[in-house]
Amino acid sequence: MRPLQFGEILDGSFQTIRRNAASMFGSALIVQALGAVFIGIVTVGMFQLSMSFESVSTEAEFTEAMGPFLAIMAGTLGVSVLIGFLGSVLQGVLVVPVARSVLNRRTGFKQMWKLAGRKIWPLLGVALLLTLGGLLAATAVVGIAVLLFTAMGPGALLLVLPLGLGSVVAFVWIGLKVMLAPAAIVVERTGVYGGLLRSWQLTRNNWWRIFGITLVVAIMVGVIAQIVQIPASLAAAAIGEVVTPHPDAESVASTLVITTVISSAIGALVGSVTFAFQASVFALIYMDLRMRRDGLDVELMQLMETGADPDGVPGGPPAQAGNSAQPANPAQPGYPSATLQNPPTQPQAPMWPPNGGQFPSAPPSGPRPPA
């Protein structure tokens, strides 16, 4: 039981998903399936709308057709925000089986949601805060860019490019600093502000390491997803050509529905696996930082030896009398201590003679105590 290296984080993520497939994969599949349904509806709506644009011949008809188009675009944005919100919540929930897997404890679907449900309201709060914060920041950047182009024309590009690049850098930096807030809320049973503050403290002096791990994992996940989805998309297109060799408007619409359903189902399956893997990596990064900063590995070794709290989440504050969770270390309020619970005793003078007053058959090799 020690701080984790990059390879151990990846291997631990795979092992966690394998041992808790029902809870982790099942929960991620529900969220991904919900998003796939909404995306499929938007895709079919966009196709129907594009077909209606072909019959537009006057400016009035174009203006009338733009209303549904803008509504569908707004719906697309809403779906993206909803998926991001649910992803933030689920990231905190999936930390439960990951933390328990560190002690080789399995976690069922119902047990995971029961343990995470204790802090579901702070989880919803931090997910809403992060989602709205990102949305407002992106809106502000786009608004500033539009104002600059309106006032300066094409010359505003010299200001918009640095603004966009700086915004991306700031977004990534802040995003990684608060990435561990859902995990801290669930494991350490803090509130919204406490979770954000805890994440900010844990990532201090570790930002580049976290960025490297997150970037490598994102590239791995993206490549694997494309390897699976590209052949699936080609197969769906081939099915469409076989079903409708001589397409017309109605057959194209029905074929689009079929291919959209197939692509969405495959995308949901692939997305659920990749999301569960990424969430497991984030949770293990949190546990690793706790080991490095708080000495969590000592506490985990004690739990493994004693088998205490077999149905809880390792790493949380210890429960004391009155079922109130109080910190064990007063120097760090709200967080468990990395030291032993019992204070060390003062060293005592060795007993002489040994063996309850019976001298051994041979005298000790060292100097004898004074008589």
- Residue pLDDT, tens place only, 161-185: 999 999 999 999 999 999 999 999 9
The confidence band for 236, taking pLDDT boundaries of 50, 70 and 90, is low
Distance CA 295, CA 281 (A): 20
Check if the beta carbon of residue 171 is closer than 8 Å to that of residue 105: no
What pLDDT score does 56 carry? 64
pLDDT > 60? residue 109 = yes
Calculate the alpha carbon distances from 351 to 257, 355, 369 in Å. Answer: 86, 9, 10
Residue 325, beta-bridge partner list? 319
User: Which DSSP letter does residue 325 get?
Assistant: B
In 10 A of CB 71, how many CB atoms? 12
pLDDT for 302: 87
What pLDDT, on the 0 to 100 scale, is given for residue 357? 41
Q: Is 206 exposed, middle or buried (0-12, 13-18, 19+ CB in 10 A)?
A: middle
Residue 327, pLDDT > 60, answer no
Give the tokens for residue 156. 């505003």
The answer, as to whether pTM is greater than 0.95, is no
Span 268-285, average pLDDT: 92
Q: What is the largest CA-CA distance in the chain?
A: 117
Q: Measure the CA–CA gap between 163 and 167, rounded to whole angstroms.
A: 6
> What pLDDT, on a 0 to 100 scale, did the predictor assign at position 46?
74
pLDDT higher than threshold 60 for residue 343: no
Cβ within 8 Å of residue 337, ≥6 positions away: 294, 299, 327, 328, 329
Q: What is the CA radius of gyration of the chain?
A: 29
Mean pLDDT over 139-159 rounds to 88
Q: How confident is the model at residue 324 (pLDDT cuts 50, 70, 90)?
A: very low
Supply 251's token pair.
């057959």
Is the Cβ–Cβ distance between 60 and 40 less than 8 Å? no
The backbone region for 334, taken as left when phi is positive above 0, alpha when psi lies in -120 to 50, beta otherwise, is left
> What is the C-alpha separation between 77 and 146, in angstroms, rounded?
19
**What pLDDT is attached to residue 350?**
41
Predicted pLDDT of residue 334:
42
User: pLDDT band at 143, cuts 50/70/90?
Assistant: very high
Question: Which whole number is the average pLDDT over 339-354?
Answer: 42
Do 313 and 113 contact (CB within 8 A), yes or no? no
Answer yes or no: is pLDDT of 39 > 90. Answer: no
Average predicted confidence (pLDDT) for the chain: 79
In this predicted structure, the answer to whether residue 228 has a pLDDT above a threshold of 70 is: yes
